[in-house]
Structure 1
Amino acid sequence: MKALYGRGTALFPPQVLDASDTYFSREVPISKENPGRRYIGVCASGVRLTAAEIRVSEVLMAGAQLLLDRGGASADPYLTMVAYFNATRELAGMARFMQDDIQTGLARGRLWSKLPRRSGIAFGPINHAELTSRVASSAITETLNQLAVPFDPDQDTNAARQARIAAARAGQSVPREGPLPFDAVLATSMLQVGVDVPRLGLMLLVGQPKNTAEYIQASSRVGRSADGPGLVVTLGNWARPRDLAHFEQFRHFHETFYAQVEALSVTPYSVTSIERGLEGVLVSAARVASGVDGAAGLSPESGANRVSEQTAFLDALTGRLVARALTACGEHDANLVKQRLASRLGNWRKRRTDTLAESKQLVYEKTHKAGQAPLMIGAEATTRKEILEGAPFVVPNSMREVQPEINLLVSPKPERLWIQHGEGAPQWVFPAEEE
């Protein structure tokens, strides 16, 4: 509490008599209105994990088709299987299996199985998507929107599909309006937050996640609606001792997993967090705290140009920030914050002097006019124009991902390569061509 909020611990409300009612949360009995979710553990000893993934996915997707054929629209929550992976490498393998082994197994069916065949939503191919860091943010938004598209019993049962295929062979038009629903969605840790699609009810967790909080967050993405109780199938890797330990204690672990959430360390004034976050804190605090001064303060976008006029205010503000660091983490970290803030204020004033020499106005970020120069740029800025503007404050939009993407274009012809040597750096010499 001291490192996070700069104050001592205060327990509110006090301990209560009923452990199921803590004032902040309350246990709700399982009912039709609150069905919850059911967890099932699978561990195929002696079988390769990839083979188990394929077979379990095939059974879950074929079982969902059986529910649709018999129950109609009530089966919709289980027709989109959400598969969760601990690593992108594992997910990439599953993406290949979806287009090959699983798709083939569902289409052919098993002679000894009572589960029906299932073809992809698009007359054969399985319609699947990814929620990973290797997908563009715009595509992720489209995927989340499309996840809300339900299956239509009038078109997606096996009987309806056979009728549509027969009509297509007879030369009749069988159009389908609107976007297609997903047969499967493959996801990594991105799924934990920001995904709230009520219709999702089926999840396959491949391998035990690295910590209990991740496990709870990921599995709670399904079964969020009373219309579809959640079904979470955890596929453990028998070759991993941790997966095996959770499988052997499966029931006890799930009955008590909220008590087993690991404690997190808090390091708000580590060197890396100071380097990445202090500029944003300084600017936001300056703009908010000086808002009472109106147009003469630092709050407006053009207020960045008044840094010299607000010296006394900024010195007092940095003193408060240093005092906050001293309360939370001690003298050493407070000195680091003090030195960094002094350096940042010096860069701010220098930036203002340089822009005045160029007959420009200093603004915080939004340069709407040609005669304006920014104080800040985002850590994700990659364009040459943004880099050449030389803004001294690099402020990330997120504390999770702050590394910009770098596109490399490599040519085999040395004369086409452009090199800019840093000051004092040794000259690069291309190796001699081999005979």
Structure 2
Amino acid sequence: MLDSVVAEGRGDHMQTLSVAPKGRLWLGRLAPEIVVQNSRLGERSERLEPCEVGVRVRPTEVDGRTVTCAGRLVVWSEFDGGDAPDAPRWRKSDPIEVRADLPTPARLGESATSAGRDDFAAALRAVGADGMACEFQAELEMGKDGPELVVTLVNVSPEEIPGWDTKVYEAVLEVDSGPTAPFTLDNLPDSFRYDRTVSAYGVNGGVVRLGPETFRTEDAATHDQPRPIYWDDDAGQPPDLTFATLAAEPLPPLRDLVAACERWANVHWAPAVLTQRAIDEDWDAGMRDEADTEAGLFTEELERLRAGLALLERDDDLRRSFMLANQSFADSPVIRHTTWRPFQLGFMLANATSIVDDRHDGDRSVVDTLWFATGGGKTETYLLYVVTTAFYDRLRGKREGITSWGRFPLRMLSLQQTQRFADVIAAAELVRLRERIAGREFALGFLVGKPGTPNRIRASNRSAGDPDPTDPDMPARHQVLLRCPFCGSEGLHMAFDTGRWTLDHVCGAERCPWGARPLPFRVVDEEIFRSLPTVVLGTLDKAANIAMQAAMRGFYGAPSGRCPVQGHGFTYAPRSGSPGGCLFPGCQAQSGPLTQAADLYAPTVRMQDELHLLRDSLGAVDSHYEALLDALQQHYGSTPKVIASSATLAGHDEQVRALYRKTGRTFPRPGARAGWSFWSRATETLARRFAGLAPRGVTLEYATDQLTESLQRVTRRAVEDPASVAAEIGVDVAAIPLLVDNYGVDVVYGSNLKDVEAVARSFDTQIQLDRPVNAATLTGRTPLDEVRDTLARLVDPEPDFYDRVHLVAASSMLSHGVDVNRLNVMVMLGLPLATAEFIQTTSRVGRTHPGLVIVLHKIGRERDAAVYRTFPSFVGHADRLIDPIPITAKSRRVLELTFAGLVQARLYGIHEPAAIAAGLRQLTKPGPVRSAFNRLPVLEAAELQALVDMLNFDGPLDENLRRDLEAYLREFYRALNDPASSAEWVKQLFSTGEPMRSLRDVEAQAPVFSRGGRP
């Protein structure tokens, strides 16, 4: 497929064209050198429309050697093909091939040498291109590792010759360079793990090594990424890690797993082994120190595995919970695999202590991050941890309340991951029922809110856009699940139950073990507050609600009580529409008591997916809300375990310290060699082929249109003529439908919405094929129901190829949490600014089948150009090139943004319950708050100290922040006690602005008025 689209871009299989070749062909072409020299764009001109292509090597010595060069190219001439609009106008010449011996400079500083010009001129003259010429050139330059020899094929033709395109096309250079030494990549962190040698670099393209001293230029700079396996034979025979075995008798295989890890460590991390590698691989002192440090960290990880195993051996409830969690995975009808990968159980063992030990200074004082490659199974890993914890919560007496609150920075993650969580939670609920474990049903909540799902469904007084419970079409607009998690049926339907006042997913399949009952799955915010499902998933933004909603108390403490009316659920602070604190519309009942200890309600686990996305302003703001959540939950007597996950980390410990004020720890530790650890090892099987292309002389948009059209043409030819295609690629014709199924969808990814929207428009107007192209768009602006429908079509395509989705234009929404095995071809519009985004995005293809990633470099940009020169090395070492996460919790601007939310959340979470318990009124208006603060009392000095302690603003360098905090709080108390204040609500008393409605609201909002003056 790659060869076909590159050949199309070069024109390899074309003999005539109806348009000028410079307007159609965008690869393999070289402009005349004089054009580049005269361009006002300077160096950028050589990148946008190069005049040379070549190879850069390191000669073993500067010896004035003669290298052998072979060049191949074609040229195009104009001719009269007739009067028809699409008649051919341009004809390609026969191939021109020239070989020549090229002397090289004998010393640094000598002028470039050249050869072959006369031979090229004669060959071009023979095909009618009199006056055109090319030549081989050699230059000697000083690089960081010593002298570098650059050999190029250069177009030295004049700017114009009547009847001829003076560019040359299909240009290829082959060089027999003589003895060379490899380049050595810079000594970045973890260098002891990597092979840092590079045999040669391409000039304006890629290079392939044909032999020890022979190199050839390529239009595509390529790198093959191997697919990993999840066991290393150096550890011996893998233990039986199937769900069924671990559900029946988990200890023997877990003991075998820990023992295998010990054996592997002795082979790869032993001091004698590292000493020998240091000698063989010429490590410097810093590399050896790094290796010793990493060996120590691996030993610590091994100790955690041993501790987790010992805990499972002696704690009957924990062992039973683990067994029941495995039984849940074994029983689920939609989980297709039957066994765990070793690292998944390793994470469980390493963090087992945190399930049992709830001390704030124990294992819960550490943030544990699951650090593993995308597609390795991170979601299932923390699902195992969460479901084990849910069973353990039930066995220790937590019969209701949230076990895990998982948050996702992007909406697409929430939608994709929710289905996978629902599948396992449903199976766990059936296991709970079968085992007769006391407590409320295991349920799942989807806390996203507008515009994805409703915040509430009102019986009356609805605003424009609010869901109407009497509208029969309303429920279907808010479907989230793609299939029934109990039976796998796709026949779900939505219904609104006015008796229970719930928006329900209902399965109609006869064989469903849950029957026709509403699924234990809540998607409306107020329903989640009323029921407090066992697991809640949602967007990170919802953390801001703890300052806006008294009903968020169940996310850090206990609700006020429970409504005595069956089905109404938990109650919270009274409000004008709910005098008893019940959120059921119109309920006037007084709140009843809770049924378990108050300190059991708060989440046992807070889970943060894709930790690396909590950066910049979002991460800084969230750090204050993380501090707030911790302080509120500790006020109510418990401490959550924070777990996180990411495939791309840099500066992890500093990020965790800023976000959570805690120590950070990653699992699993990498091995002693890149791509080779106890937990996974690279194989020779291809996972992804990366190809870097630099469009020449055309816009990126044009190249994208041509490339996607070529990709679709390749697939459609296989659909129309499977026998010929099968013969050409050497497969059985019966395999063609499978190939079409897995390579018939092309993803075009842009890191900004402007690029994505432009591509989406081009799909409709610029791609010229016999049959229409069906395109979809996945961005943050795509409505949730459209996202859901597109994902469903991608996972389960229509039978007829021409009815399917063929092209997907996507933004960063795609780069996290989208697991569709049919996505195996991606075109990337320019290199993302962050290496982490590059890694995350490209991992969306090639999940189970070899993937193709084509990066169209925006070659005019300095960074794209720099990466293109070393593209294979960039891809191979991308995980080392990730920028540390920029984040700080100690910023005056961030404090300005969060101050109102911090104070108001403490008001609703701590002071209002105390006020109501003392017989005072609800604390939503200044008057009652003023009275409560005087009666309880809530003193300014005490409140200031609580905020300082919460935010860790107690260091000598935090004096200015403490002073700001004191000033903001003093102004709040002044406004609160001002009898002349016109503020109607407490939120209007803050001099820094009202509490944030979203953690992303970091810029001042500007009203937009219509022509009539109405906002």
Question: Shorter-normalised TM-score: what interval?
Answer: 0.5 to 0.7
Residue equivalent to 1:110: none
Structure 1 residue 395 and structure 2 residue 996: aligned?
Answer: yes
Equivalent residues in 2 for 1:337-416, closer than 5 Å: 337-347=965-975, 375-376=986-987, 393-399=994-1000, 406-410=1007-1011
Q: State the alpha-carbon separation in 2 of the partners of residues 181 and 41 from structure 1.
A: 28
Residue equivalent to 1:131: 779
Deviation at 1:318, TM superposition (A): 3.1
Q: State the alpha-carbon separation in 2 of the partners of residues 62 and 297 from structure 1.
A: 75
- Residues 179-199 of structure 1 deviation map (CA, whole Å, 9 limit, x = unaligned): x75322223334334545454
- Cα gap change, 1:198/1:154 in structure 2, threshold over 3 Å: closer, same or farther? closer
Residue equivalent to 2:223: none
Residue equivalent to 1:57: 708
Kept in 2: contact 1:144–1:195 (CA 8 A): no
- Cα gap change, 1:375/1:61 in structure 2, threshold over 3 Å: closer, same or farther? farther
Q: Let me know the Cα RMSD of the aligned residues.
A: 4.4
Kept in 2: contact 1:39–1:234 (CA 8 A): yes
Deviation at 1:144, TM superposition (A): 4.1
Kept in 2: contact 1:325–1:334 (CA 8 A): yes
Q: State the alpha-carbon separation in 2 of the partners of residues 193 and 351 from structure 1.
A: 52
Structure 1 residue 200 and structure 2 residue 823: aligned?
Answer: yes
Kept in 1: contact 2:693–2:857 (CA 8 A): yes
- Cα gap change, 1:233/1:347 in structure 2, threshold over 3 Å: closer, same or farther? farther
Q: State the alpha-carbon separation in 2 of the partners of residues 297 and 75 from structure 1.
A: 70
Structure 1 residue 101 and structure 2 residue 766: aligned?
Answer: yes
Which amino acid in the other structure matches residue 692 of structure 2?
A: G
Q: State the alpha-carbon separation in 2 of the partners of residues 89 and 197 from structure 1.
A: 25
Q: State the alpha-carbon separation in 2 of the partners of residues 328 and 215 from structure 1.
A: 40
Structure number with greater CO (CA < 8 Å, separation at least 6) is 1
- Cα gap change, 1:271/1:392 in structure 2, threshold over 3 Å: closer, same or farther? closer
Residue equivalent to 1:321: 947
Residue equivalent to 2:799: 154
Q: Which has the higher strand share?
A: 2
Q: State the alpha-carbon separation in 1 of the partners of residues 694 and 878 from structure 2.
A: 19
SS of the equivalent of 1:129 reads strand
Structure 1 residue 143 and structure 2 residue 766: aligned?
Answer: no
- Cα gap change, 1:234/1:48 in structure 2, threshold over 3 Å: closer, same or farther? same
Which amino acid in the other structure matches residue 881 of structure 2?
A: Q
For normalisation by structure 1, the TM-score amounts to 0.62
Q: Which moved more, 1:397-406 or 1:198-207?
A: 397-406
Residue equivalent to 1:429: none
Q: State the alpha-carbon separation in 2 of the partners of residues 14 and 205 from structure 1.
A: 30
Structure 1 residue 209 and structure 2 residue 832: aligned?
Answer: yes
- Residues 130-170 of structure 1 deviation map (CA, whole Å, 9 limit, x = unaligned): 414xx36xx145224422313647312xxxx6xxxxxxxxx
Q: State the alpha-carbon separation in 2 of the partners of residues 338 and 280 from structure 1.
A: 15
Which amino acid in the other structure matches residue 86 of structure 1?
A: S
Residue equivalent to 2:841: 218
Structure 1 counterpart of 2:805, from 182, 190, 193? 182
Deviation at 1:259, TM superposition (A): 0.7
Q: State the alpha-carbon separation in 2 of the partners of residues 4 and 242 from structure 1.
A: 29
Task: Say which one has the larger Rg.
Answer: 2
Which amino acid in the other structure matches residue 703 of structure 2?
A: A
Structure 1 residue 18 and structure 2 residue 686: aligned?
Answer: no
Q: State the alpha-carbon separation in 2 of the partners of residues 244 and 51 from structure 1.
A: 19
Residue equivalent to 1:363: none
Which amino acid in the other structure matches residue 953 of structure 2?
A: A
- Residues 220-243 of structure 1 deviation map (CA, whole Å, 9 limit, x = unaligned): 3333x42x4433211112222321
- Cα gap change, 1:202/1:275 in structure 2, threshold over 3 Å: closer, same or farther? farther
Structure 1 residue 243 and structure 2 residue 908: aligned?
Answer: no
- Cα gap change, 1:8/1:88 in structure 2, threshold over 3 Å: closer, same or farther? closer
SS of the equivalent of 2:867 reads helix
Residue equivalent to 1:233: 854
- Residues 247-284 of structure 1 deviation map (CA, whole Å, 9 limit, x = unaligned): 22111111111110112332323233222222223333
Which amino acid in the other structure matches residue 231 of structure 1?
A: L
Q: State the alpha-carbon separation in 2 of the partners of residues 83 and 52 from structure 1.
A: 12
Residue equivalent to 2:115: none
Q: State the alpha-carbon separation in 1 of the partners of residues 746 and 664 from structure 2.
A: 44
Residue equivalent to 1:45: 696
SS of the equivalent of 1:231 reads strand
- Cα gap change, 1:417/1:182 in structure 2, threshold over 3 Å: closer, same or farther? same
Kept in 2: contact 1:42–1:236 (CA 8 A): yes
Deviation at 1:21, TM superposition (A): 8.8
- Cα gap change, 1:40/1:348 in structure 2, threshold over 3 Å: closer, same or farther? farther
Q: State the alpha-carbon separation in 2 of the partners of residues 349 and 317 from structure 1.
A: 16
For normalisation by structure 2, the TM-score amounts to 0.29
SS of the equivalent of 1:92 reads helix
Residue equivalent to 1:255: 876
Deviation at 1:93, TM superposition (A): 2.6
Kept in 1: contact 2:900–2:995 (CA 8 A): yes
Deviation at 1:314, TM superposition (A): 6.9
Q: State the alpha-carbon separation in 2 of the partners of residues 316 and 15 from structure 1.
A: 43
Structure 2 counterpart of 1:275, from 876, 896, 899? 896
Q: State the alpha-carbon separation in 1 of the partners of residues 805 and 985 from structure 2.
A: 44
Deviation at 1:244, TM superposition (A): 1.8
Residue equivalent to 1:79: 744
Q: State the alpha-carbon separation in 1 of the partners of residues 956 and 836 from structure 2.
A: 26
Which amino acid in the other structure matches residue 857 of structure 2?
A: G
Kept in 1: contact 2:823–2:845 (CA 8 A): yes
> Identity over the aligned pairs, expressed in percent?
20
Q: Which runs of 5+ in 1 are unaligned?
A: 108-117, 121-125, 162-179, 356-372, 378-390, 411-415, 420-435
How many corresponding residue pairs?
336
